[in-house]
Amino acid sequence: MKKIVFLTGTRADFGKLKSLIKITQESLKFDIQIFATGMHLDAKYGLTVNEIYKSGFKNIVTFQNHVGAEHMDRTLAKTIQGFSEYVGIQKPDLIVVHGDRVEALAGAIVGSLNNILVAHIEGGEISGTIDELIRHSVSKLSHLHLVSNSQAKKRLIQMGELESSIFVIGSPDLDLMNPQKLPKLEDVKNYYDIPFDEYAIAMFHPVTTEYEAIKAQSKIFVDVLIESKLNYIVIYPNNDLGTEEILQEYKRLEQKDHIKIFPSLRFEYFLRLLKESKFIIGNSSAGVREAPFYNVPTLNLGSRQNKRSFGNTILNITLEKLQILKAINNSNKLDFRNDKISEFGEGNSDSLFLELLSSNKFWEVNCQKQFQDL
């Protein structure tokens, strides 16, 4: 029986890994372990580790790694040490990491240095922040690549990765997005005490490479939410460098009747709210992934999702107040197409993942990587 460890550090990557964990934990072929760390254990962000427990998963180990948003390097170092000690005891056959966070980088480093296969979910993508560097670093340290689309596969080949180690499975969060599987909107509103009939979702994360501008950017964002006078559901940013500046600005929203602020939302509950929203505004990946799936307009601000998607429901806007307010007024005029084509898969990543794990080819990938020239 193969032992597989899923490493999760945030509410976002858990949403990506959830369907993969579920389908493998239900199989008798695999011993599934979950290493939960990062934002999951931070009370400021809602202790989202509780959502992992509520999902009914077993074999969950927690590790407190955070040493402050301004010290991502120290958080990385602490995660490496903690995860290395855990791996030394568990001795897994495979480590599964997702995306572009320092926790994923720590998992890939530990796996590669201990000759343990590392599978990276959603590598080969691009954006406009430090996440770009982390994601590509994780890819170079990983042995298996489970990507969202052919463009991501092409980029990994360009980076010298072995084509036979790259598998297109789509974006796993789409597995959970079938509206028939989501809670009812009324139940979600009652659970979170949301009084609005109509609303938009607002999520603004710090761009760590633009730290000097974050205070001004967050002020513009909050000004827009106030001056547009629409109802908003605001969700806390990631705990990266610049988060405190954003949260300081959010204090201006706390007494506004048309705004509800949450540290975090349960993923399926968030999906239902997103599906029924007028639009999503900010710079979250949810605007370029989940929102287009539901044909919800995205007002994508600034550089964080730079070049990540060009969907026809996405409007890219500079961080200028008048431009953003104008876009809000015109959000219902965005062009929609009902062609049912998704650049991030068809919502069956879990079954494709299980099929891969059940094949001998998957486990025959060599831990000793070689750069592949084009």
Angle between the 349-357 and 11-25 helix axes, to the nearest 10 degrees? 50
Domains, the chain, with CATH or none: 2-176+347-363 (3.40.50.2000), 179-333 (3.40.50.2000)
Q: How far is CA 334 from CA 71, 225, 278, 290, in A?
A: 40, 20, 12, 17
Residue 294 dihedral angles phi and psi, to the nearest 5°: -100, 5
To the nearest whole percent, how much of the chain has pLDDT over 90?
74
Q: Give which of 267, 186, 182, 198 is closest to 233, Cα–Cα.
A: 198
Say yes or no to pLDDT of 339 above 50.
no
Q: Report the Cα–Cα distance between both ends of the chain, in Å, rounded.
A: 37
Please tell me the predicted confidence (pLDDT) of residue 71.
Answer: 82
Q: What is the pLDDT of residues 198-227, one digit of tens each?
A: 999 999 999 888 889 999 999 999 999 999
- pTM for this prediction: 0.85
pLDDT at position 345 over 70: yes
CA dihedral 181, 152, 239, 276 (to 10 degrees): -30
The pLDDT of residue 135: 95
Q: Is the model's pLDDT at 182 over the cut of 80?
A: yes
**Of the given ranges (16-25, 221-230, 283-292), which has the lowest mean pLDDT?**
283-292
**What residues pair up with 95 in beta bridges, in sequence order?**
5, 118
Q: How far is CA 274 from CA 45, 143, 216, 283, 310, in A?
A: 19, 35, 27, 15, 19
pLDDT band for 231, please (50, 70, 90 cuts): very high
Q: Which carries the bigger pLDDT value, residue 249 or residue 128?
A: 249
Q: Three-class SS of residue 145?
A: strand
